[in-house]
């Protein structure tokens, strides 16, 4: 058993999950805004609980006119931009304002004599990331600059989407790794954009949207976090809440990679019924022994490329270490998809692969056209 656990840590240590990143300073602007929101009043009325169910928050915003919404957003951009239930376009506007303010904070930090050269370099990189997210064509639906940063971005028309795919990435995801120039399809933006483009090629006029969801704190480095479910449990709470705030009419598919599949596995036990499908790729386990453990009506799909090193990680869970059964094992009960062309742990979202094609087909609800693994009939009884 000890040998098996050692293998887990060796694998984690040799796959690039090694980035040390801390955002200096004790100030948390969103926490400060939340405290002010809870104590504040707006036009003589108390503000609603920011964690109230989306229908409650939706009703609140229907009582506000355009000017009131603008004033509330200007006062509390980091609250409004992350409210599950606030109007989608208002969240976009709120997050633009929050990004502008965060960029100015980082601009000042780039010349601060109180920071080390490494700290000033980090500030420069964050400032550049915020500038990129502020481009006119970007739709940021969640943003929090605290710590290593959290963010989520929409591709497509989310307001009118009938199908929404949410890409849940794995270890070493933060504001700086949200998008990459090199190895772009290993980062959430590249993953989501690739799926969205594949969906558009299948349905050029389809009412579909894809979300790069990096709005949870992912494990960093070679510590215990990557081998335990603590951060997955916290991420699952955020994922469930986010899904409940998506358009009521939309069918939702979760596309979960690596540690992101652990997040999805924990979330699956209490998901909004709008989630029809959960697909995992390169999964170390979903903290379950069988799909029936989830107690969800959502279909569960799994894929793994033959060259993915994750296959060598022991599928166990002992004393909180490890993530349980292998989702592509026949006994797990998931519908097994082809990952042809993926070429390793980081290749599932590369354009032209069967893996990304399968993701796109699930994302638009074309479940009977997916390519199954081997000779499986993975679409049997799929509804």
* 201 & 159 share domain: yes
- Is position 312 within any domain? yes
Q: What is the pLDDT of residue 106?
A: 97
Name the CA dihedral angle for 357, 362, 366, 368, rounded to a multiple of 10 degrees: 90
* 122 & 153 share domain: no
In whole angstroms, give the CA distance from residue 102 to residue 114.
18
- Is position 296 within any domain? yes
* 110 & 152 share domain: no
Q: Is the distance from CB of 48 to CB of 36 less than 8 angstroms?
A: no
* 301 & 265 share domain: yes
* 89 & 203 share domain: no
* 209 & 340 share domain: yes
In whole angstroms, give the CA distance from residue 30 to residue 146.
7
Cα dihedral across residues 262, 264, 268, 269: positive or negative:
positive
Q: What is the pLDDT of residue 223?
A: 63
Q: Where are the alpha helices (DSSP H) in 174-314?
A: 188-202, 230-244, 259-267
- Is position 43 within any domain? yes
In whole angstroms, give the CA distance from residue 170 to residue 217.
10
Q: What is the pLDDT of residue 225?
A: 81
Residue 151: phi and psi, rounded to 5, are -160, 155
341: left (phi over 0), alpha (psi -120 to 50) or beta: left
* 274 & 302 share domain: yes
- Is position 11 within any domain? no
Q: What residue numbers bound the domain in which 317 lies?
A: 147-383
- Is position 235 within any domain? yes
Q: What is the pLDDT of residue 346?
A: 94
Which of 108, 139, 170 is at the close of a domain?
139
151-204 pLDDT per residue, tens: 999 999 999 999 999 999 999 999 999 999 999 999 999 999 999 999 999 999
Q: What is the pTM for the complete model shown?
A: 0.92
Tally of helices (H runs) and strands (E runs) in the chain: 11, 10
* 336 & 258 share domain: yes
Residue 207: phi and psi, rounded to 5, are -90, 80
Structure tokens at 345: 């742990």
- Is position 20 within any domain? no
For the chain, the domain total comes to 2
Q: What is the pLDDT of residue 313?
A: 86
- Report, in this order, helix, strand and coil percent for the chain, each rounded to 5: 40, 15, 45
* 100 & 185 share domain: no
- Is position 134 within any domain? yes
In whole angstroms, give the CA distance from residue 197 to residue 210.
10
> How far does CA 263 lie from the centroid of its chain?
9
Structure tokens at 313: 């990680």
Q: What is the pLDDT of residue 224?
A: 79
CATH number of the domain within which 181 lies: 3.40.50.1820
Q: What is the pLDDT of residue 86?
A: 97
For the chain, which ranges sit under pLDDT 70? 1-27, 221-223
Q: What is the pLDDT of residue 96?
A: 98
Name the CA dihedral angle for 205, 158, 176, 235, rounded to a multiple of 10 degrees: -130
């Amino acid at each position: 058993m000890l040998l098996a656990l050692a293998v887990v840590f060796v694998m984690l240590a040799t796959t690039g999950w090694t980035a040390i990143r801390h955002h200096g300073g004790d100030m948390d602007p969103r926490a400060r805004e939340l405290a002010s929101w809870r104590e504040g009043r707006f036009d003589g009325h108390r503000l609603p609980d920011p964690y109230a169910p989306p229908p409650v928050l939706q009703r609140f915003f229907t009582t506000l006119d355009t000017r009131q919404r603008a004033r509330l957003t200007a006062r509390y951009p980091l609250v409004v931009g992350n409210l599950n239930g606030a109007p989608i376009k208002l969240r976009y506007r709120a997050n633009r304002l929050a990004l502008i303010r965060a960029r100015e904070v980082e601009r000042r930090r780039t010349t601060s004599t109180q920071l080390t050269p490494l700290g000033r370099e980090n500030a420069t990189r964050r400032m550049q990331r915020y500038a990129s997210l502020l481009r006119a064509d970007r739709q940021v639906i969640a943003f929090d600059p605290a710590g290593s940063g959290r963010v989520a971005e929409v591709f497509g028309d989310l307001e009118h989407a009938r199908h929404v795919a949410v890409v849940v990435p794995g270890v070493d995801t933060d504001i700086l790794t949200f998008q990459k120039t090199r190895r772009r399809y290993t980062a959430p933006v590249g993953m989501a954009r690739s799926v969205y483009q594949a969906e558009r090629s299948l349905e050029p006029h389809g009412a579909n949207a894809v979300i790069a969801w990096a709005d949870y704190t992912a494990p960093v480095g070679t510590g215990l976090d990557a081998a335990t479910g603590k951060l997955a449990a916290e991420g699952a709470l955020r994922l469930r809440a986010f899904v409940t705030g998506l358009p009521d009419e939309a069918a939702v598919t979760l596309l979960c990679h690596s540690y992101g599949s652990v997040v999805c596995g924990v979330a699956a036990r209490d998901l909004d019924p709008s989630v029809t499908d959960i697909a995992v790729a390169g999964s170390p386990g979903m903290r379950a022994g069988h799909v029936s453990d989830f107690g969800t009506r959502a279909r569960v799909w799994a894929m793994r490329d033959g060259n993915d090193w994750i296959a060598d990680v022991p599928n166990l869970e002992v004393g909180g270490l490890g993530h349980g059964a292998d989702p592509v094992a026949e006994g797990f009960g998931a519908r097994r998809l082809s990952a042809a062309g993926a070429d390793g742990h980081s290749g599932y979202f590369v354009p032209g692969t069967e893996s990304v094609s399968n993701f796109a087909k699930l994302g638009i609800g074309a479940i009977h056209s997916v390519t199954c693994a081997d000779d499986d009939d993975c679409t049997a009884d799929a509804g």
